[in-house]
Each structure stands twice: as structure tokens, then as C-alpha cells.
Amino acid sequence: MMFMSTLMVGTLISISSYSWMGMWLGLEINLLSIIPLMNNSKNLFSSESSLKYFITQTLASTILLFSIIFMSQNFNFNLNINNPLLLMFNSALLTKMGAAPFHFWFPEVMDGLNWINCLIMLTWQKMAPMIMLMYNMKMTVFFSIIIIFSMLISGLLGLNQTSLRKILAYSSINHIGWMLACMFFMETVWTYYFITYTIISINIILIFKLLSIFYMKQLFTSLNNSVLIKMFFIFNFMSLGGLPPFLGFMPKWFTIQMLASNSMYLLTILMVMMTLLTLFYYMRITFSTLILNMSEINFYKNQAKNPFLIFFMNCLSILGLFFCTLTFNIL
């Protein structure tokens, strides 16, 4: 509980600080807090993942610190200029959040963690670096390249995965591209996108955790025990892919509308086309779960221990689009 508290405090220091050094300090507190959380489970893979995460984040923090020191010494430094220091600064932050092409560590680290730590990695750990990136989103060409890389790599590398943790990692890289596109023009849309993505991730990971599912083969046996849980699982993956009428459709629609209104048509078309790759492996999982009914005996018949929580969170995800549109029309 103590490390979870300091994890949150580190992020809050980063997003509320007025200086780059204070933001860096918050990131370091956050890093030193999550390592014990990763090692909490008695699993050799979690120790390996925590070591990989620590080395990668330390390297990114070092580059970030040097960039801050050099920028602070240059009193005439302008964030609007395509400066190599600013390029280093942004690259370090993108490495911290796992955006492509700086994603090399992210799927491997995710594959060795338990579901609670996976949820922290997918949501909370991305908040501080993204908010720090909001202050210097003037490098339009650089971030457009990062967005395209994130979409393309997440789609291609996620196609042949059987580990659900790696699939969610590549899915997260895809959503990082969408969130970076949100931050070009309006931070409010990014906030809405991030909250929506967090709700959907909680729903999916809650089902995986309660049923102890880690690989695609386990889906066919574990989800057959409950039709309601199976339908919630399918709806959430469709929502994660941005299909209407689910909650995940609205932030993507806002992002497309915002990019098109600012004449970024090529980036919009590329984003939509490359997101179809991730949608393909979402549909592969959902259709396989829906159609296939494995006849082998499942010795681990894990039942959901808190069905009300799953029911409430999934109703929020399924009916969220209706309430969101109603709210926007009223306002």
C-alpha cells in the first residue's frame, strides 16, 4: 500500500510541477515505487520484467535529465524550434511510455507481470510522460512519424501473438498513437480518450484476473462457463477497437473529426487504415471465443468472485456511448 501511494504521489508531482526538474523528480519517485510492486509476486518472470523495466527507464531518465540540464543552460531556448535537445527530450518521454519505435521493452516487460501490474503499466504509468509531452507538441512532423510508427508496428507485431498480455501491450501502443494525435490540438479530447481507454482496460483485465486467463487457448475453456462473462468480454474488445455503438468509438470519432478539421487528411487516412490491423486481431479473438466451444476438460473452473463489479463496469463500457452523447447534447 505504501508503494502504491508513492507511485501516485510521484505521478502527481510530475503533472503539477512548474519546472522540468520537478517533473523529472516525480518520474523517478514513480519508478522507484513500481519496482517493488513488480517484485511483489513470487514469480521469476516478474523479477526479470522489473529488471528490464528498471534498465530501460533509467536510460530514458538519464537522457531526459541531460536534456533538461542543457535546455536550462540555454536561456534563449525556444520550444517552438526543432532543436536537437527537444528531440532528445521527446524521445526519452516516448521511451518511458513505450511508444513505437521506442517500444522494444514494453511487450517483454508486460509478458512477465501479473494482471494488476499490467493494468498499472497500461494506464497510470503513461499519464505523466504524456502530460509532459503536452507542453512541447510543436514538432508536428516528428510526432506524425511517431504516430504512424505506433499504428503500423502495433498492427503488424500483434497479429501472431498468443499471449494476451502481449496483445494488450501492442494494443496500448496503437492507442498511444491515437492519444498523441489528440494532443496536437485539444488536450480535452486526450483526457476523454485516456479515461475511456482506462475504463475499457479495467473491464478486460478484471475478467482476465478473476478467471486467471493469460493465453488465447485458455479463453475457449474459461469463458464457456458463463455466457454473460463471454458477452462482456466480446463487447469490451469491440469497444477497444472503436466500433460503434460502444464507448470506445466516441474518442476515436472526436480525434478523426479534429484532425480532419485541421486539414491533416493524410495522417487521418493512415491512422484509420492501420488501426484496421489491430481491429483484425481483436475480431480474431472475439469470433474465436464466440464460435469455438472447446470440448477438452477445464480443470480450473475459476468463477468470477465479484460478479456485481464486473457487471457494473461493463455496463458503463457498453452504455457509455449513449450517456456521453446525451451529455454532449445537453451541454
Structure confidence by residue, pLDDT tens digits, 54-102: 999 999 999 999 988 888 876 555 555 557 888 899 999 999 999 989 9
pLDDT of 318? 64
For residue 255, the Cα-to-chain-centroid distance in whole angstroms is: 16
Q: Which of these, 216, 1, 38, lies nearest to 113 by C-alpha position?
A: 38
Give dist(CA 22, CA 3) in Å, integer. 20
Domain residue spans of the chain: 2-330
pTM of the model: 0.89
Assess whether pLDDT exceeds 70 at residue 213: yes
Q: Kindly state the percentage of the chain with pLDDT values over 70.
A: 84
Per-residue buried b or exposed e for 14-35, using 16+ beta carbons within 10 Å of the residue's own CB? beebeebeebbbbbbbbbebbe
pLDDT of 310? 65
Decide if 184 contacts 140 (C-beta within 8 A).
yes
Confidence of residue 309 (pLDDT cuts 50, 70, 90): low
pLDDT of 296? 46
**Helix pair angle (20-38, 44-73), 10° resolution:** 170
- Spatial neighbors of 306 by CB under 8 A, at least 6 apart, are 210
Q: Is the dihedral of CA 246, 184, 99, 7 positive or negative?
A: negative
pLDDT of 297? 45
More confident position, 211 or 325: 211
Confidence of residue 298 (pLDDT cuts 50, 70, 90): very low
Assess whether pLDDT exceeds 80 at residue 211: yes
Decide if 4 contacts 37 (C-beta within 8 A).
yes
Mean pLDDT over the full length of the chain: 84
Averaged pLDDT, 222-239? 81
pLDDT of 10? 94
Assess whether pLDDT exceeds 90 at residue 125: yes
Averaged pLDDT, 211-222? 83
Confidence of residue 46 (pLDDT cuts 50, 70, 90): confident
Decide if 208 contacts 223 (C-beta within 8 A).
no
163 - beta bridge partners? Answer: 215
Confidence of residue 305 (pLDDT cuts 50, 70, 90): low
Assess whether pLDDT exceeds 80 at residue 158: yes
